[in-house]
Homo-oligomer: A and B are copies of this chain.
Amino acid sequence: MKIQRCSAIADRMKDIHAFHVMDILARARELESRGRAIIHMEIGEPDFSTPAPIIEAGIAALQAGRTHYTPALGLPALRAAVAAYYSEHYGVEIVPERVVITPGSSGALLLALGVLLNPGEGVLMCDPGYPCNRHFVRLLEGRVDAVPVGAATDYQLTAGLLARYWQTETRAVMLASPANPSGTIVPSESLQAIAAATAAHGGHLIMDEIYHGLVYGSRLPTALEYGDDIFVINSFSKFFNMTGWRIGWLIAPEHFLPAIDRLAQNIFLAASTPAQYAALQAFAPETRRILEQRCQAFRERRDYLLPALRALGFDIARQPAGAFYIYANCEKFTTDSQAFARRLLDEAGVALTPGCDFGTHLAATHVRFAYTTSLENLREGVRRLGDFLQAVSAVQKTSNRKTPSSRR
């Protein structure tokens, strides 16, 4: 019995799942190693490398020997630069002390949940949603209060849903706008109502704004406008194209800062020093020009891909306003999106993310398209997808003719 216990893995790991997209990616790489050309629409990472001014700042930091630890909450100059960005971009004044530089938004999520959540306390979040959120809650022995959302609410939470799903032990609400996997936003009136309802329940809103720069319409307000007790998660990864550097930030309520400082000291020591020096150039005018061009490229991709997918028969209720994702209802073709994604990859060389990565609600009838590849690749992907669906449909028709009653 002792031997068995020795090899036992902690219970939490039963609930902390791999991303299914990693299997898709591994299979895609395998096919590529055999010479197949794969169209990647599964990857949740910009195809662009980090803009040159940021890279140059990173190189300059290394040349200057900036390789020691920074303070746990980050370089004062970077915290000030982020605070200045809020003032300029959003017209919201926050003191630099509220800005915590973290190892990616992953670090920010762990800090926010770490200082908020006791074991057994709940966190309201959308299903479908970013899968790591529920796994962070599980790591801390919290409870995920999943709110099933669909096309009717743009795959987003509403104040009405919040009221319906709030429980006694609910402690926080996690919300993302634009969201992964849907790319949809929370309209500002709704965000304001959710913030007010969360505060009225004595909870905290943890707002994921990591796709904020990637919005293809009017600018979004930051949730910080709607209360001082809100945690805002952001990142240099997506909009600033710094994924591999692992650097993000958290704007935290002042009251929590001493605890966050203690937790950060103990579990990270600090975020990467070269990354922090590099990120100082993320807000430079030259960098912004590059990022705006890239944002425009993402918009063009969305504007191509969305009607093309609809024309193929995918049901996408409303145009996603941001990020680089389209969450498409594929029930016209399948009620097993995971098998569908695997087959599409094997037979047509197109990689997608099946809905099961984002939860259980509607997962079997949805897939996520990421337009993190060139327009040319997207066109080729759509062409292949069209051929594949035609072939599937032809087979289905044949089988329908054979067994007409079984298709009812």
A9-B259, A10-B118, A16-B262 given as contacts; is B106 within 8 A of A268 (CB)? yes
Closest-by-CB residue of B relative to A277 is B244
Contact yes or no, B272 A69, CB < 8 A = no
A16-B263, A103-B246 given as contacts; is B2 within 8 A of A202 (CB)? yes
Contact yes or no, B7 A244, CB < 8 A = no
A65 at the binding interface (Cβ < 8 Å): yes
Contact yes or no, B59 A262, CB < 8 A = no
A117 at the binding interface (Cβ < 8 Å): yes
Contact yes or no, A244 B66, CB < 8 A = yes
A2-B201, A204-B6, A268-B106 given as contacts; is B67 within 8 A of A62 (CB)? no
Min CB–CB distance A55 → chain B (angstroms): 5
Min CB–CB distance A208 → chain B (angstroms): 15
A203 at the binding interface (Cβ < 8 Å): yes
A381 at the binding interface (Cβ < 8 Å): no
For window 46-79 of A, CB contacts with B under 8 Å fall at 49-50, 55, 58-59, 62-63, 65-70, 72
The size of the chain A interface, using a CB distance under 8 A, is 81
Number of copies: 2
A1 to B201: give the CA distance in the assembly, Å. 10
A11 neighbours in B (Cβ, 8 Å): 118
A383 at the binding interface (Cβ < 8 Å): no
Contact yes or no, B267 A132, CB < 8 A = yes
A3 neighbours in B (Cβ, 8 Å): 202
A356 to B10: give the CA distance in the assembly, Å. 31
Min CB–CB distance A4 → chain B (angstroms): 8
Smallest CB-CB A-B distances: 3 pairs: A244-B273, A2-B202, A49-B65
Footprint of B on A, CB under 8 Å? 1-7, 9-13, 16-19, 22, 45, 49-50, 55, 58-59, 62-63, 65-70, 72, 103-104, 106, 110, 114-119, 131-132, 135-136, 139-141, 171, 199-204, 229, 241-246, 255-256, 258-259, 261-263, 265-275
